[in-house]
Structures are given as C-alpha cells and as structure tokens.
A and B are shown apart, each in its own frame.
Chain A
Amino acid sequence: MDIATQTEIILRGAGYETWPWTGVTPAVICFENAALIGFVHVFSSADELLARWEAAQQTVLSRHSAVLRAAGAKAWNVYSVFLAEEQAPTQQRAVERIEENFVLTRKIARAGVRTQDDVERALLPLTAIKAQPILSDTDFQDRLRARLKDVSADVLTAFLAATSAEEVAKILAEKP
C-alpha cells in the first residue's frame, strides 16, 4: 500500500488540501484546511522512523519557516505525521511515545500502517467524526408482518392502522 497516496485520499476526503513537497525523498505530503497545517512523513521502517523523525520534522519546518511565521495563530496548529508500514510490535510503544512530545508540532506517529483502515485510524485527530449512526423505524411494520405470517392479514392491518385496541380484539375474537 502506498501510504502517502492513501493519506492524501483520506485527507482530501476530510476537506484538506494536500500536495507533495518534494524537497526531500521520499516526498512529504503537506496538508492544510481552515484550521490546520501539517506534514506527513513516510518512513521505510519503524527503526528509521524512530531514528529520523526529529530530523525530518526539523527539515520540513525549516524549509517552511517563513510561511509558518506568516501564518499567525495557525502556525500553532501544525501537525507532523510520521508513518511506517513495517509491523514492529516491540517498537510500537516507542513510536507512539513520540506523540507525547509537544515541542514545535503536534505529532502523530504510527508503525504497522498497512491498510487504508490503519491510515484512517492514524489520521483520526485530523478528520471529522466518521461513524454516523442512521436510526430509522421505517421497517418496523414490514418486519412485524414478516414475523407474524400466521396471523391473518386483516387482523395485522387493523393492528397496524389507527384501529383501537378494543376493535382489534373484537376482530381477533371473530376470526383469529
């Protein structure tokens, strides 16, 4: 999976502008919306991530320092995203501990990013709420009809209509 591309897809879907900055290799994905600015760094391994994240961050920030200085308060909302595809269970905790470092930027650091879901999960702090429960009652009557196949249609229709309970009981008593 191309993490960089998937990141751009997801961020664009979340309303961000994204573009690559090719000043380094691999390219850094830059993103921005009305409130945030950020950079996505992709590493070849968890070890590389742990070894290079700080330098990579420094490089990008230095190159964009003028822009960030001009961004005013928005410059405080800079995210550095460090991702690596390699599954590294023993290093996962060390990788994620990077997030507890608040110097210069807010950091998102993950190893084992192998699927689109992993990318989505990593970028949750940047995106709107994804899960939207849709609660509907429309199928209640259909479900009741399907459930009560042995009950006569007339009785069910009366029950589901505005017919009073007494009237339904009368119909039932006459032809159950």
Chain B
Amino acid sequence: MKLDFVEVCGFRGFREKVRVNFGSGFTVITGRNGVGKSTLCDAVEFALTGSIDKYAVEKAAQESLNDYLWWRGKGKPSNHYVTASFKRDDGETFAITRTRKSGADKTTAQIETALCHSMRPDDAIRQLCRTSIIRDEWIAALSLDLSETERFELVRSALGPVQGIDFSVKAKAVLKAIETAHTVRQNAYISARTQLTNALTQLSEAKEAITRAGDVSAAMQMLAAAIPDGPEELVARLAAGRAALTEGRARIGAMGEAIAQGREVLALRRAYDAPDAVQKREAARVHVEAATKSKLEAERVAADAERGLQLEERGNAIAASLAAIIEHGEKLGRHDEHCPLCAASRTNAEFAAGLALARRRMEALASGVAVARQRAIAARESLRRATAELEQAQGVYTAFESEQSRLTGREQAHIETFERHGLEFRFVRDPDGLEHHLAAERDRLINLERALLTLEVSQSISKLASLEDRIAAFRKEADAAAAQVENSEEALATAKAIDRGVRSISGEIIDERLAQISPLLNELYQRLRPHYDWRSIEYSIRGDVRRFLSLKVGDGLNPQFIFSSGQRRAAGLAFLLSVHLARAWTPWRTLLLDDPVQHIDDFRALHLIEVLAAFRLDGRQIVCAIEDPALAELLCRRLLSTSDAIGKRYEIDIGQDGATTIVSDMEIPPMPTGVLRSRSEIQSVGL
C-alpha cells in the first residue's frame, strides 16, 4: 500500500484546494522555509489521526494547535478539509476525508483495518504515523535523546504485539481467580479449625468439670433449701437456682453497703448522745435563755433612759425660753411698778427676787439634760452588748440543732437503704449483727453455687457424647478444607508458573525481535556512517520489570554523550529507519521525511540519500520534503523511478495571495537502461 494523493483546502497555509498526487516511486517536495512543505506531511497525519503530533507544546496563551489547524490568513477558503488517499497493491484505494465541520468520514477502526494487519499494536494509527513520518525536529528526540526505558517502549510498541500479550492478560486473570478461590478455601479451613478447637476446649472443660464434681444428692438438697418453691424440672430448677444466686449476690452487696452506712450512723449517734456533748448543748440552751433575759432587761433600761432624755430635752427647751424672758425682763425692768410680763404690782425687790427665782429654775431645767443623755448612751451600749451575746448564744445553739437534723437525715437514709433492699430492720441499729448475717448469707450462696456447679456438671456428662460426635465431624470438615487448601496452593503455584512462563516467553520473544532488528539498525548505521571511528552500533537490552534499551558504540560508549548534534541525528535516523522497516503489522510501505538533512553535512546527507535509494530498491515509496534545491535534484536523480513506480517533484511557494501554491509539478522519468554496456561494447569494438 502506498500514498496516492493528499488534497487540502483551507488547511494550515493552504487556502484553496491543492492536490498533490504522489509518485508511487517517490515524491520530492521542495520550497523555501515556511512555504508549507511540512504541511503536506501534517496533512497525512491529520487525515489519519485528527491531530498533528509534532508540537511539543499543546497550549500557549490560551490557544492550542486546534486554533491553527485551519486557514487563518486573508480571504475565506471555499472549504476546510483534508483528504489522504492510499492505494493498495491491487489498485484499490482507501481515502479519508477530515473536515473542519464534521470530522472524519472514516472511523478509527476502519482506518486501522485498512492500514494495519489484524495483529497490530495499541493506538495503531498513532504508532503508524510516529514510525512512518520522520520529522526533522523529532529525529534526535525520538531516538538517541530518549531515556532507555522510553526507547525500549518505542521499539517494542512499534514492532507490534506479540501473541504472548493476550496470554499474559489471561494468565493474570487465571492467577487472580485462583488467588480468590484460595482465599475462600483458606477462610473455610480457618473457620473449620476454629470450630474444632472451640469444641475441643468445651470437651476438655467438661471433662475437667466432671472430675471436680461433688455429691449430687447433697447439691439437690442445697438447691431445694435455697429455692423451696422452685420448679420440679431440673433445668428450670437450675435456672431458678442461678437466679437466686444472682439475687443473693445483689443482696450481699446491699448488706455490705448497709453495714458501712449503719456503722457510720451509729458512730454519729454515739458521738451526739455522749454526756459532754449533751452538757454542751444544755449549756448553750441555758446561755441562750440568760442572754434573752439580759437583752430584755437592757431593752427596758434603754427605753427608760430614752424617755428621761426626752423629758430633759423638753425642759431644756423651756429653760431657753425662760432665759429670753429673764433677759427681756432685766432689760425692761418694771413697767409702772408692775411686772411687764404678768402686769402684777411688784416692788423692785420683788421683781428682782422674781428674776432670781426664774434664773434658778432656768438653771435647774438646763442642767438635767446632760445627765439624761449620758444615761441614754450607756443604756444603748448595754442593749447592743446584750443583743450580740444573744446572737452568739443562738448561733452556738443553732449549730447543735443542725447537727441533730443531719444525724436524723442520715438515720432516715439508713432506714431507706434497708427498705430498698428488703433487709431486716432488726439490723438497722446493729451493723455488727448485720455483718454476721452477711457472712452466713455468703456461706449459703457459696454452697448454692457449688451445688449448682455440681448439678450442671452432672448435666454436661450427658452432653459429652454429642460433643465428641461434633468434634469428629469438625475434624473431618477441617481435614477436607485442608486438602482443598493444599489443592489450591498447588493450583496457585501452577498459575504462578504459567504467569511467569508467559511473561518470561513474551519478554524473550520481544528481546529476540529486538535482537533481530539489531542487524538492521547496524546496517543502517553503517550506511549512514555518523562517525568515522565507530563503525557499528549495538543494541543492549536489560532489566526485568522495567526494560531498558541502550545503544552503544565502540567499547561500550553511549553515543548520546559523545556524538555531535549532526552525528546524533544521523545515528537517530538509523534508529528510526530501522524501527520503520521492522514493522510487520502494516502493509503501508511509505516513508515520509520532513526536512531530514538539516544540521547534517553534505557527506552524510549523501549517505541518507543512498539509504533512501536502497529503500526504493526494495519497492518502498519515499516522500521527502527538502529545502535545498541541489539535494532535491540529487534525490530525484538517485531514487529509482520506473514506469511502474514513477518519481515526482513538486516545488511549492507562497503565492501573491499569501497562500501556499504549487509552482511546479513534474514527473521524473526513468533513467535509460543498459546505456553503459551496449555503448561501451560498441566503443570497445571501435577500439
């Protein structure tokens, strides 16, 4: 299968429809930088995959490659599409048209079916493009500059799948299924073993209990005494006995609590009723009574003093008035020999005696108030002291009353404890008696428990046989489960061996395939001769899980680090061309090269052209975009053009309208054959 034609319209730099019919032998496309030579390679890739893989940066400044796939220059194209057509050896064509509006007219599956054999790698069309279109910018990046693991993957995937990959998936699925089954069987075995050991433990316990069992009849009497109205049936009676035991234990707990509480209350009561305590309370009471009386007396005295003070204060007010009268009387004197106040006829002596008498009375009235005030102050102080003493005595007495109240509360709570737990009230004030009673009750409960154990053991004797039967069944079950586990362990080992074998053989086949293309790489390397001293290159594959493919020249040297840029590209071309030729999964026999001779000197460019000529001798189609017209000329001369597989040369340029146009389109005619021999023979004859 070869590339037949590419037709583009409104794609990249092509505004109007342009069709390039490829020569089935070769096609050389020339033109200056940027005129659109690469776009024709891009068009093939775009038609096949819907994308162009050569751009390392997918997005920049919010724009992506998709924004630049279609014409963006001046003017509007009549359409936007790319068509790539392929022609099979039988002449049948297969074309893919991809439009801007509706995408491709063929599905990926249809494209894969047309261009690949049934055994093809994953993402086959992308692999096809990567190994069919060799671009200048990727020559080193996809070969020498790859990491060793990436290089291994590139070659492995380019070589196509090996049958073992399907089996590898299947082996893993088998292994997983076996592992799941094995886990289930292991769990079943563990479960059976657990049941068995549990049953064995029960059996052992039962046997040990039997050896410890006492007198059954005594135990029955004990049980009957403990639950006199209990049921007749033994199991029910045992249950009732267990219930009585539980109840008795609860009561013993309550008794312990009551004993502690009773002892505390009793101690408090004894302390409260002690003679010195009684004496202190009586003294406090008497003190309160005496203080009350003293206070009443002080209140009375204080009231009398206050009344006396009031009287004296009123007399003092009269004395003040008398003083004013005396003062006026002295100033006025008699009025017509009469008293100016009462108009009675007075002599001077009588008037003076009257004034003296009034003065004496006034002095008598004024002198009583100070005494009365002193008395009142003293009475108030006595009352304050009496009140304070009463309050202090009452405080002491109230404390005694509170103590009694607390004690009464504790005693009441103690009684409530007895009520709550149904304890005998005779022990309310007798904790020691209650303790004796508790000891007796505990002994009774121990005897009851022993009796119950004895009776339960007697019950379990009858169960021994059935327990032993169950153990035999569990053992059988565990043995069967163990056999199953052993079986699945063997199956697991076999599944692992299969998985290992499949992986190992797949790996070996991949290694062998890589080894098989090693001579091809070496031959291409020798043809391209990147380096004078190192004439051959070796593959080296290593690694088990991660695989590495290293390239070595000379004495184990890595060409990546010792070759110049041009030499790396030449070695890289050898690598990529070997990968291209090694693909067995595609019938497409076209090699597209996009400016492969940049940075390569003329001598090595000539080697490359000779390698391409060798490809042509093998019937392969070459499409080469190249800038240098001289090299284009050399390519057209050197690549084989025959009438069945003609060569073509296109020259493209940017037209007046800014779009790419085809400037010239010419067929390269086949060279004349047999010219040297026939003519030289003639010439020789002529000699």
Binding site for B on A (CB under 8 A): 14-15, 17, 19, 21, 23, 30, 32-35, 37, 63-64, 66-68, 70-74, 76-77, 93, 96, 99-100, 102, 106, 121, 124-135, 137, 140-141, 143-144, 147-148, 150-151, 155-156, 159-160, 165-166, 168-170, 172-174, 176
Using Cβ atoms and an 8 Å threshold, which residues of chain A touch B532? Answer: 93, 96
Query: A137-B163, A144-B505 are contacts. A67–B680 as well, Cβ < 8 Å?
Result: yes
The verdict on B677 contacting chain A, using a C-beta distance below 8 Å, is yes
Using Cβ atoms and an 8 Å threshold, which residues of chain A touch B343? Answer: none
| CB-based A-B contact count at 8 angstroms | 190
Listed by A's residue number, 13 A-B pairs whose Cβ atoms lie within 8 Å are A23-B684, A30-B677, A32-B677, A34-B642, A37-B676, A66-B679, A137-B119, A140-B505, A148-B497, A148-B501, A166-B177, A168-B177, A176-B488
Using Cβ atoms and an 8 Å threshold, which residues of chain A touch B683? Answer: 63-64, 66-67
Most buried by B among A15, A30, A71, A137: A137
Using Cβ atoms and an 8 Å threshold, which residues of chain A touch B162? Answer: 137, 140
**Interface-facing stretch out of B124-132, B166-174, B231-239:** B166-174
A131 lies within 8 A of B671 (CB): no
Q: How far is the CA of A73 from the CA of B649 in the complex (A)?
A: 15
B671 lies within 8 A of A73 (CB): yes
Query: A35-B671, A133-B582, A135-B160 are contacts. A147–B527 as well, Cβ < 8 Å?
Result: no
A135 lies within 8 A of B582 (CB): yes
Using Cβ atoms and an 8 Å threshold, which residues of chain A touch B684? Answer: 21, 23
Name the distance in Å between B487's Cβ and chain A's nearest Cβ. 6
Name the distance in Å between B26's Cβ and chain A's nearest Cβ. 11
For residue B508, which residue of chain A has the nearest CB? A143
Using Cβ atoms and an 8 Å threshold, which residues of chain B touch A151? Answer: 494, 497-498
Partner of A67, one of B160, B490, B676: B676
The verdict on B275 contacting chain A, using a C-beta distance below 8 Å, is no
Q: How far is the CA of A130 from the CA of B176 in the complex (A)?
A: 46
Binding site for A on B (CB under 8 A): 119, 159-160, 162-164, 167, 170-171, 173-174, 176-178, 181, 487-488, 490-491, 493-495, 497-498, 501-502, 504-506, 508-509, 513, 516-517, 519-520, 522-524, 526-527, 532, 581-582, 584, 602-603, 606-607, 610, 613-615, 617-618, 637-642, 670-677, 679-680, 683-684, 687
Using Cβ atoms and an 8 Å threshold, which residues of chain B touch A131? Answer: 517, 519-520, 522-523
A176 lies within 8 A of B675 (CB): no
Partner of B505, one of A33, A70, A143, A174: A143
Q: How far is the CA of A113 from the CA of B487 in the complex (A)?
A: 66
Using Cβ atoms and an 8 Å threshold, which residues of chain B touch A37? Answer: 675-676
Query: A67-B683, A159-B170 are contacts. A129–B177 as well, Cβ < 8 Å?
Result: no
Q: How far is the CA of A32 from the CA of B674 in the complex (A)?
A: 7
B167 lies within 8 A of A147 (CB): no
A147 lies within 8 A of B504 (CB): yes
A74 lies within 8 A of B488 (CB): no
Partner of A173, one of B488, B613, B640: B488
Using Cβ atoms and an 8 Å threshold, which residues of chain B touch A76? Answer: 637
Name the distance in Å between A68's Cβ and chain B's nearest Cβ. 8
Q: How far is the CA of A55 from the CA of B642 in the complex (A)?
A: 34
Q: How far is the CA of A37 from the CA of B613 in the complex (A)?
A: 14
B617 lies within 8 A of A15 (CB): yes
A135 lies within 8 A of B584 (CB): yes
Name the distance in Å between B525's Cβ and chain A's nearest Cβ. 11
Partner of A165, one of B173, B494, B527: B173
For residue B490, which residue of chain A has the nearest CB? A176
Using Cβ atoms and an 8 Å threshold, which residues of chain A touch B642? Answer: 34
A173 lies within 8 A of B181 (CB): yes
A129 lies within 8 A of B676 (CB): no
A172 lies within 8 A of B603 (CB): no
Q: How far is the CA of A33 from the CA of B613 in the complex (A)?
A: 12
Name the distance in Å between A143's Cβ and chain B's nearest Cβ. 5
For the A-B complex with A128-B618, A151-B494 known, give 19 more contacts whose Cβ atoms are closer than 8 Å. Answer: A15-B617, A30-B677, A30-B680, A32-B673, A35-B640, A35-B641, A64-B680, A64-B683, A67-B680, A67-B683, A72-B671, A73-B671, A125-B614, A130-B523, A131-B519, A137-B509, A140-B163, A170-B177, A173-B491
Query: A64-B683, A130-B523 are contacts. A17–B677 as well, Cβ < 8 Å?
Result: yes
Using Cβ atoms and an 8 Å threshold, which residues of chain A touch B618? Answer: 128-129
A140 lies within 8 A of B509 (CB): yes
Query: A67-B679, A72-B671 are contacts. A144–B501 as well, Cβ < 8 Å?
Result: yes
Using Cβ atoms and an 8 Å threshold, which residues of chain A touch B607? Answer: 125
For residue A37, which residue of chain B has the nearest CB? B676
Name the distance in Å between A2's Cβ and chain B's nearest Cβ. 21
B491 lies within 8 A of A165 (CB): no
A128 lies within 8 A of B672 (CB): no
Using Cβ atoms and an 8 Å threshold, which residues of chain A touch B159? Answer: 135
